[in-house]
Structure 1
């Protein structure tokens, strides 16, 4: 029933989307979706890198970690935001 989408079905879906959202808003929606995908990708990469780094040995005089800046895309400074890294307050 829903297994195969041919060209007429895809064209019909696109026409319905254009009618619902309007041609003026579609580029903005696509741009917003692209930014969201880039942010998700950079966050996933940061989490992956964080998981690969070994945990530092605890010491008595720890300094707070430096603040990172997350950017939506490389070179995009208008949507960058500083992020405070979570601190581990558990005692072992």
Structure 2
């Protein structure tokens, strides 16, 4: 199983268009983008917290 090629992406886009319709796709794309942005910000916050904890541990030693 290789990566998704251009033909596969075209087929997925066509099926999505048939299922959701042309008016709903931009709304779904925007919602997906917002979800990914929130997830990225949340994971960045967790990574920052871990970095702070590691700095505190090193300062105590």
In terms of fraction of residues, the more helix-rich structure is: 2
- Say if 2:18 is the partner of 1:19: yes
Superposition deviation, residue 15 in structure 1: 1.7
- Say if 2:29 is the partner of 1:30: yes
Unaligned runs of 5+ in 2: none
In terms of fraction of residues, the more strand-rich structure is: 1
Q: How does 1:3-82 map to 2 (within 5 A)?
A: 3=2, 5=5, 7=7, 9-53=8-52, 54=56
Superposition deviation, residue 47 in structure 1: 0.3
Q: Return the TM-score normalized by structure 1.
A: 0.48
Q: Return the TM-score normalized by structure 2.
A: 0.68
Question: Larger RCO: Structure 1 or Structure 2 (Cα < 8 Å, ≥ 6 residues apart)?
Answer: 1
What is the aligned-residue RMSD (CA, Å)?
A: 2.2
Aligned residue pairs total 53
